[in-house]
Amino acid sequence: MGAEHTDALESLAVRARAALVREIEESGAWDTDPRWREAFETVPRHLFVPYYFVGVPGGYERLWGEHPDPERRERWLRGAYADQPLATRLRDGELVSSSSQPSLMAKMLVDLDVRDGDRVLEIGAGTGYNAALLAHRLGDDHVTTVDLDPEITESARAHCAAAGYRPYVVTGDGARGCAERAPFDRIVATCALRSVPVGWLGQCRPGARILAPLSTGLVALTVRDESSAEGRFLHTPAYFVALRGEGEREVVQHIGGLPRRVLRDELFRFLLTLTAGALDPHEALALWEREGRPVRERFGVTVRGGREWAWLDDPGGPYVWALAP
C-alpha cells in the first residue's frame, strides 16, 4: 500500500469518525453525559475491526483493511464507521463475535452511569473497542474485560494496544466474573444472558450497577449485597451474541396457534422470551393483551437469596416468573 493512499485512508478515517460521532449525537445518546463524545471522537474503531463480514446472498463476504484493491480498502474503512453492528468472527457459518452498533454502545455506556474512579468489569471482550472506550474515560487500570475464547481476548488485547490502551484482558468464563480484580463498581455485559450470574454480585461493592442484555432488552440492576440485586429494564431493545458464544435462543419459531401479527410484534417477542420455560405462550399472549401491551420499562428482575425472577410492575407479584440459572 503506497504512502499516498495510506494518508488518504487516514484522512478518510478522521472524517468518517467525525460523521459517526455526529450521528450518535443526533440519536440523543449523550444527552445526559456528553463526556462520552470525547471517547468516541478519539478511539479509532477501524483499528478494532481489521476485518469483518457482511451478509451477501448465500453467506458472508469478508472485508479487510489490507486488501490489495484500494476501493475495497475504502469500503472496509467506511463500513468500520457505519452506525451498525459488524460481524467479526464466524464459526461453522454462525456468528460468535461482533462489534456492536456504536449508537447502542454509546447508550449503554451512558446508562452504565460511571463515575470517575469507578472500576468496571466487562463481560464479553469482543474486538476490545468497548473496553478501549471505557479505558479512555476511566483509565486502563480501572477496566477489566473477560471472554471465554482465547483468540478473542488475544485480538482484543492487540487491538487495544494498537490504539494506545491497555485495559486488563482476561481469558475465562464470564459467568464467573473476575474475582482477582474485584470489587467492581460497575459490571456491563455485551453478550445476551438468560439470567444474571449470582456470582457477579459478590464481586461488586454495595450500590454497584449491573447492566446486561436479557430477553432482547437491557436490565439495569442495583446491587444491595453479595446475594441480592434488583432493577428494571430500560426502554432500549438489544440483541447480542449469547454468553459462551452460543446462538441466540429463538423461542417463537416453532410456536403454533398464535396470530402472525402478534409474533411479529417486538414487545410481545420480548415478553415471550422473558417468560420462556415459565409461562405457556398462550398465557403470555393473554397477559400481554390484558395488560395493554406492556412496554419494557414495566418489567424488572430481582435476585435474592439464590433465587432469580422477572416481574411485571411489582417484584412481589402477581406477575412473576422464575429465570433459569
Task: Spell out the residues 6+ positions from residue 275 whose beta carbon is closer than 8 angstroms to its own.
Answer: 284, 310, 321
Q: Which of these is catalytic: 11, 97, 103, 155?
A: 97
Assess whether the previous peptide bond of 315 is cis (omega < 30° from 0). Answer: no
Nearest C-alpha neighbor of 310 from the set 204, 203, 208, 194:
194
Q: Which helix (H) or strand (E) holds 20?
A: helix 3-26
Own/partner contacts of 83-88, CB < 8 Å, gap of 24 or more, are 83/20, 83/23, 83/24, 86/49, 86/52, 86/53, 87/52, 87/53, 87/54, 87/55, 87/60, 88/49, 88/51, 88/52, 88/53, 88/126, 88/127
Known catalytic residue at 27: no
Instruction: Tell me the three cell numbers of residue 282.
Output: 398462550
User: What's the chain's length in residues?
Assistant: 325
Residues with a catalytic annotation lie at: 97
